[in-house]
Structure formats: structure tokens, C-alpha cells
Amino acid sequence: MHTAAKHRTEVLRTVATVTLAVCVITGFTWNVLAAAGPTVSQKERTFQPHSLQIARGDTVHVLNDDGELIHHAYVVTDAYNFDSGEQEPGSITDIHFTVAGTFTVRCRIHPKMSLIVTVK
Amino acid sequence: MRALLFTRFAAAAALAGALLAGPASATTLYEDLGGDPGLTAIIGGALDEAVVDPRIADKFDNINMARLKQRIVEQVCELAGGPCHFKGISMKGSHAYLQLEDRHFNALVEDMQDTMDKVGIPFATQNRLLALLAPMRRDIVSK
Amino acid sequence: MAGKLPRIAITLTTAAILVAVAPDRGSAQTTATQPTGAQPASADTAPETYNNPPELFDSGKLLATGGVSQLEGAGGGGLAPWALITGYGSENSAGANVHYTIVRVPSFLLQSEGAAIGVFDRVELSYAREAFNTGSFGATLGLGKGFTFHEDVFGAKVRLFGDAIYNQDSFIPQVSIGAMYKSTDHADILHAIGARNAQGVDFYIAATKLLLAQSLLVNATLELTRANQLGLLGFGGDRDNSYRPEFAGSVAYLLNRRVAIGAEIRTKPDNLRFAHEQNWYDAFLAVFINKHVSATLAFVSLGSIATSTPQNGVYFSLQVGL
């Protein structure tokens, strides 16, 4: 008599657990990506967009979307330094801005590329 | 009679080639080009000419020339039997956006020849280097 | 001969002017020098596109890679057509030139003048007008001293496959096929000496390769022909009338960017009873002054050409082009 009801409960429990897990994972991932910061593309030997504003602690994701070209992003200031090393085509480089100010991200290979990041 | 003549001619040509190629050289092409300082002078000089060569100057727009020189020296060093390791990059991928034609490739070859003349590399040695670089044309020229 | 002088004078004068005045389009013009490592001054915007407007005559090939003009007007060595396409036009362009060649051997004077064009480094068209002055030998033949045969040669060549210059990592040569339609005057005299026709077509296939690491260029040409002395004495004959495979070979050593020395051989059919035809040989020096002017000097050995003396002499050719 109990078997049918018990079975239904078990199924419901499994469904609920899986749904909850999926939500948590999705939410967590979403938060990791979305809250972290904007994405900038390296394309046609430029940064697109070429300027942006972020909050202190944000991360700018730099995507090399430039065919088979290699890029090499860097920032050199008294307050903050960053060097990406060679960025392979298709790679994403995270630049985590911990200091407020205005910073110019450049490319060691393509000197005309510049990305102005204003960190509030 | 004609077949014999053809065979003799082919043999003569092959012999000429073998004689001119010489015995296996005691020095590598890398050494014959002057090693690292020699290659630096050749590649540096060639690219300095290239950026003011009206036929190809605009191809070097938005390029870090110092870095380019360094990377090409590494590449040629390894190609010519020197002690370098060049991390290969795609010649095709890195040149595609420039839509280069044969006339651009040849312009750079001529700039290299001018520089090697200035540096005093013997013509035969120049040709040994160009023979190693020439096959890259198929990947570098896209139009 | 007198009628030729104005044309020769014009060609040589044009050449002289071009050599003197030529800004050498085909090489770098360093109008400014820059300190090492400096970037060219440019606006801080990337060029919109890299579309290069194609130039009609771009002088885009490397020096000497169009060969010179061979005796029948095609691009090649001195005696035989090569697989190279004449001129300095690169694959997206064209090149054109005119040539004047004179060959002086004891009994004869041979002159050739003409023009050729190479398109897309793929197709070549050429025309040459040959004048074969039989000198005092003409008198011996009962033709009169200085009797001259004239021949028109219309040539076409197509590059089939392979690359002579760049594919240095392959032994595959550049291969071209070609044909020459030839027409000689004085058909009655040609028939009298045993030739069957006053017109004919030669077919050839040529393979050329630059062995850059050895500074050597080699060429082999296989020709199907019935032409007597390149067609100057007609086509086919009373000894033999059919097409024969003939061979031509050239080897050139590059001394520097502008100078090459070499040797050639060209085998010939032997169709006429009245005189045997022999192989032709030459040893040459070719100087490429710039991409507009080249000059070739050679010693030639042309066999006896119906006389009893070996016809060894001098060959000089001038090519002037865009």
C-alpha cells in the first residue's frame, strides 16, 4: 500500500534535489561571470570597446578574437601593473583591478592598441 | 644521338650543381651569416629599410618593430642552424590580414638583399639564406 | 641593312635614356633615413583596409626572374624559350618589353627585333621579326650578295604548374608549354633549296628551376619542330619532313644580383639535303642593369649553316621594358 506513495515521494525528492543543484550551480557560475566584470574583445588590432568604467575589485575579461593573431596586454603604472604574457588566439585573459584610478591597457605587439579603464 | 646529348647535358648540370654546392660545410649558415650579431644587423637593417620603403612601409603600421626584429632573428637563427629555439607561429595566420601580394614579398626580399650587401655577406651565402626563406612565400602571400 | 639602322638607333637610344633616367621603380626609394628603431610617423588610426590598387605594370618580380629574350622572341635564355614568363609583372600584374638581337658569324648576319608581354606571370605573348642576311654566301647560292630572308614569329606560352623561384623546398620545376607560328618569305627560294613549306608551327614544353642555394638556374626544353635553322630556311625538307623532338638546355650561374654567366645547347632537325644542320651552342654573359634594361653577350657556335666553314661568332641582345 505504502510502496506507490513512497516511490512517488522518492521521485519528487530526486527531482527537487537535481533542480536545486542545477539552480545553485547556474546561479553560482552566473555570479562568477557576471558580477566579475565586462568583456573586452581584441579584434582587428584594437580593443573593442576602447574605454570603460568599472568598480574597484572588478575583473575585465579580455578575449583575443583576432583571427590567428597573438596579443600581449599590459599595464604599467606606479599604482598598478599587469602583464598577460602572450595571449593565444581565442583565449580569455582576466585583469583584476584592485586599485582606483585611470589605467591604459596596451599591447606589446600592436603599439596603437589602447584600452582606457576608469576604476572608481 | 639526342638522348645521349640530353643525358650528357643533364649530367653536366648535376655535376656543376654538386661542385658548386661544395663538400659538407664545416660552418653552418648561421655562422656564415655572422651568428647572432650578424643576424641582428641583417634583420634589423632589412626592417629599417622596409619601414621607409614606399612599397611596403604601410604594412608595418601598428607593429612593435623592436619585437618583430627579435622574433625574426630567432626564427632565422633556428632555420640557419643556430642555437635558438623559435616558438613557431603561423605565418599564414599572422600575415593574412595584410593581404600581401608577391610584389610586397619581393620588396622585402630586395630590402634584405640591400642590407646583406651593405653588411658584406657574399652573394652565394645570401642565396643560401633566401633559399630557406623562399618557401614561406606560399603562407605569407595571400593575394 | 640600311633600313634597320634607324630602328636600332631608336632602341639603343631609348635604352640609354631609360638607364639614365629610370628611378628604378622596382626597388626601394629611400627618400628619408630614420634612426634605428624609430616608428614611421602616422596618424593614430589603423588603416581601414589593406586594399592595394593593382598596378598595370608593377615591376613586382625579382631582378632577372623574367629571363631575357631568346632568338625567336620568347622569354628565356639566348637560344631557347624557358618556362619563365617574360617581364617583371607579378601574379596580379603584367610586364612588357622589346628586344633587339644581332648575331654576327663569318658568313651571315642574323637580327631579331620584337616585343613580348607577360600577364599575371601566367601567359606570355611574343612577336619577333627575324632578318637572316646571307651576305656573300647569298651570291654563291645565286641569290645575290646580301640576300635576306625575313621571318615573322608569333609566340604564345602558358605556365602550367610549378614554381622556379620560391619553391626552394621542392625539386618540382616550373613547367610551361608554348607554340610558335612562323612564316618566312621568299617561299620560291625555300622550295628551291628543298624546304616543303614557308610556314610552320613549333611546339615546346619547358622546365625551369632556380637552385637558389647553389646560385644556379637550369632549364630543359623539349621541342617538336620541322623548322630548318629556326625556320629561316623554311619548314620540312627533302631529307626529312616530319616533326622531330629536339632538345635545348641551359645552365646559368648567378655571380651577383645583376650578372649571370652560362651556357646553352639547342639541337636541330636536319631536313634539307643541300646542307646539313647542326646543333647550336653558346656561352653567355647576361647583365641585368635594372628592371628596365638587360644586355646579353654571347659567343655562339651555329654549325656550318650550308657553308663549308663553322659559323662561330658573337651574339648581342638588348632588352628594354616596363
**Model's pTM, two decimal places?**
0.84
CATH homologous superfamily of C62-321 equals monomeric porin ompg (2.40.160.40)
Q: One-letter amino acid identity for C138?
A: G
For the cut 90, the answer to whether the pLDDT of residue A11 exceeds it is no
As a whole number of angstroms, the distance between CA C166 and CA B141 comes to 11
CB contact under 8 A, B49 and C58: no
3-state SS class at C304: coil
Instruction: Work out the minimum CA distance from B1 to partner chain A, whole angstroms.
Output: 57
Length of chain C measured in residues: 322
Q: Among A7-21, B22-36, C2-16, C267-281, which stretch is predicted with the lowest mean pLDDT?
A: C2-16
As a whole number of angstroms, the distance between CA A19 and CA A27 comes to 12
Instruction: Answer whether C185's CB lies under 8 Å from C166's CB.
Output: no
CB contact under 8 A, A68 and B90: yes
CA dihedral C157, C163, C165, C169 (to 10 degrees): -160
Best residue in B51, B91, B102 to probe C by mutation, most C CBs within 10 Å? Answer: B102
Q: Which residue of A has its CA nearest to C49?
A: A44
A115 & A59 share domain: yes
Catalogue all structural domains in chain B, each as residue range(s) with its CATH number. 29-140 (1.10.490.10)
3-state SS class at B120: coil
As a whole number of angstroms, the distance between CA A67 and CA C231 comes to 58
What digits encode the pLDDT tens for the residues B85-143?
Answer: 998 899 999 999 999 999 999 999 999 999 999 999 999 999 999 999 999 999 999 98
Q: How many domains does chain A have?
A: 2
Structure confidence at residue C214 (pLDDT): 97
As a whole number of angstroms, the distance between CA C289 and CA C293 comes to 6
Q: Percent of chain C at pLDDT above 90?
A: 78
Q: Among A13-27, C158-172, C275-289, which stretch is predicted with the lowest mean pLDDT?
A: A13-27
ipTM associated with this complex: 0.88
- At B2, the pLDDT band (50, 70, 90 cuts) reads low
A52 & A79 share domain: yes
Best residue in B104, B117, B127 to probe C by mutation, most C CBs within 10 Å? Answer: B127
Structure confidence at residue B19 (pLDDT): 59
Q: Which residue of A has its CA nearest to C48?
A: A44
Report the CATH number that the domain containing residue A76 is assigned in CATH: 2.60.40.420
A106 & A94 share domain: yes
CB contact under 8 A, A111 and C39: yes
A10 & A68 share domain: no
As a whole number of angstroms, the distance between CA A24 and CA A14 comes to 15
Range of the domain at A1: 1-36
A27 & A44 share domain: no
CB contact under 8 A, A112 and C44: yes
- Provide the 10 A C-beta neighbour count for residue A34: 9
A44 & A17 share domain: no
pLDDT, greater one: A29 or C221:
C221
Backbone angles phi, psi at A12, to 5 degrees: -60, -40
Structure confidence at residue A25 (pLDDT): 75
Residue C138's Cβ-count burial label (10 Å; 0-12, 13-18, 19+) is buried
